[in-house]
Amino acid sequence: MPIYDYRCDDCGKTYDVLHKVREVTEDIACPSCGSTHYTRLIGVSSIAVGQKTARSRQEPPPCADGSCCNGSCGLN
C-alpha cells in the first residue's frame, strides 16, 4: 500500500496519506485545516537492508582452476 506525501496549498502543512488500493482524490484532505487544495510531493522510496551475517561476509571459494567462477568473486 503506497503512502503519498502532500502539502496543503492553503495552510502549508505537509501530511501523508496511506492509499489502500489506489490514489483517490476524495480521500485527500489536510488534517490541520480540512482543505482539499494540495500539492503532491515527490517522495523517496525506502528499502530495508538487513545485516550481513558472518557467512555472507566470507569470500566465495574460487573455482577449481583458480578463476573467479564466471565473475562472482568479490560480490559479497
Closest-CA residue to 40 (of 3, 4, 1, 71): 4
Q: How confident is the model at residue 14 (pLDDT cuts 50, 70, 90)?
A: very high
| pLDDT on residue 19 | 78
Rounded to two decimals, what is the model's pTM? 0.52
Report residue 50 as a C-alpha cell: 538487513
Q: How confident is the model at residue 76 (pLDDT cuts 50, 70, 90)?
A: very low
Distances (CA, A) of 72 to 27, 41, 54, 67: 49, 40, 18, 10
Report residue 18 as a C-alpha cell: 496511506
Average model confidence (pLDDT) across the chain: 75
Residue identified by cell 502543512 is 13
pLDDT digits over 24-59, tens only? Answer: 777 788 999 999 999 999 866 666 666 655 555 555
| pLDDT on residue 73 | 59
